[in-house]
A = this chain, B = another copy of it.
Amino acid sequence: MASLLEGQARPIRLADIAKAAGVSHGTASNVFSRPEIVRAEVRERVKAVAEQMGYAGPDPKGRLLRAGKVNAIGVATTEPLSYFFDDPFARVMMAGISEACDAVGAGIALVSAANQEKLAWNIQSALVDGFILFCIEGGSRLVDLTRERRLPFVALELGFQDETVSAIGIDNVAGARLAARHLAELGHRRFAVLSLGFADDRTGFATPEVVRSAVYTGTRDRLAGYFEELSRFGVDTANIPVYETENEEKSTKAGLEAIFAKGEPPTAILAMSDRMALVAIDWLKERGLDVPGDVSIVGFDGVADGALCTPPLTTIAQPITEIGRRAARMILDHDGAVRRETMGVELIVRASTGPACKG
């Protein structure tokens, strides 16, 4: 009952307190934001009045407008919000971002949307000082939308041609080469690639022109890395099937079906994400194929789940947490400059790769 009435009443403002306590609003403000500069007697009186009137303290909405800073950074993606809590890669990244924000008491606002229109609106109306962009599917649109806000932002993934946007990512070519060399050195010669998208909304085998006109240069670079290295071992890369998935279970399985439906099955799979690699391991086991006995798999990302599955996944590990931390710092310490950072990657050999079988 009481709370219902309270709900109806207009909330108490700082000005109300000031009037009731017989001081100016300037002084009233000081009581809360810089109590040390107001005389103890006055301070206590104002506080008492505030308490008695049920004042909730200075409303951040007002403060914010004046201060011009929200003290929060937005993390945006075109995926639904739950992506941040489901996707293992995103989760580790968020942990890094959280850490950097925690350290300076900055908040995190998650931005996303079911549809395009809402996404635009949500980005326009997010109360943040800057954005970190998870550029997966639809990354280029996300960048365009964010640019209009004219707030600092940093793209996760260097995969943008556009050198005018700040970004932080990894050396995709080097990472891919590491993966390819590892398999080639184990004697593998027949490969298949489970690829991320080269452009939005694509799925299926990628043709050379798809690759050439790639929007996502990160994907292109990884493929280039694979191919460069394999060529050095005399593998004819033109015959390697490259299947674009949406980096989730369904399309990855479809890709595996398609790959294994072809003539000679691969003895090694290069997956551009651990998520796909994990799905592949399950799929192969279901089909009675041994990993790595029959087929070896190398993932990409270095997500925690990879160490826990059976067999544990050999992968290219990104310093995900560190990327997250740096991205957050870039926004927090923004100085107007465009910054592009490239982080190193590391091959982690676990048990999903082994010598090529002679069959």
Contacts and interface: CB of A to CB of B under 8 A. Distances in A.
A151 B164 CA distance: 42
A122 interface: yes
Nearest to A4: B336
B65 A82 contact: no
Interface string A60-73: 11111100101110
Interface stretch (A101-109, A224-232, A266-274, A292-300): A101-109
A277 to B, nearest CB: 17
A149 to B, nearest CB: 6
Contacts of A114: 102-103
B110 A337 contact: no
A11 interface: yes
B110 A148 contact: no
Interface residues of A, number: 59
Nearest to A83: B98
A45 interface: no
Interface in A97-132: 98-99, 101-103, 105, 107-114, 118, 121-122, 124-127
Interface string A135-179: 000000000000011110000000000001000000000000000
18 contacts: A3-B164, A6-B150, A6-B336, A8-B336, A56-B151, A61-B70, A61-B127, A70-B127, A81-B99, A82-B94, A85-B85, A85-B94, A85-B95, A102-B113, A105-B121, A105-B122, A107-B109, A127-B127
The 3 closest A-B CB pairs, nearest first, are: A7-B336, A81-B98, A56-B150
Given A81-B99, A82-B94, 17 more contacts: A3-B164, A3-B338, A11-B150, A56-B149, A56-B150, A61-B68, A63-B125, A72-B127, A81-B108, A84-B98, A86-B95, A103-B114, A105-B118, A105-B121, A107-B127, A108-B110, A109-B110
Interface of A: 3-4, 6-8, 11, 54, 56-57, 60-65, 68, 70-72, 80-82, 84-86, 91-92, 94-95, 98-99, 101-103, 105, 107-114, 118, 121-122, 124-127, 148-151, 164, 335-338
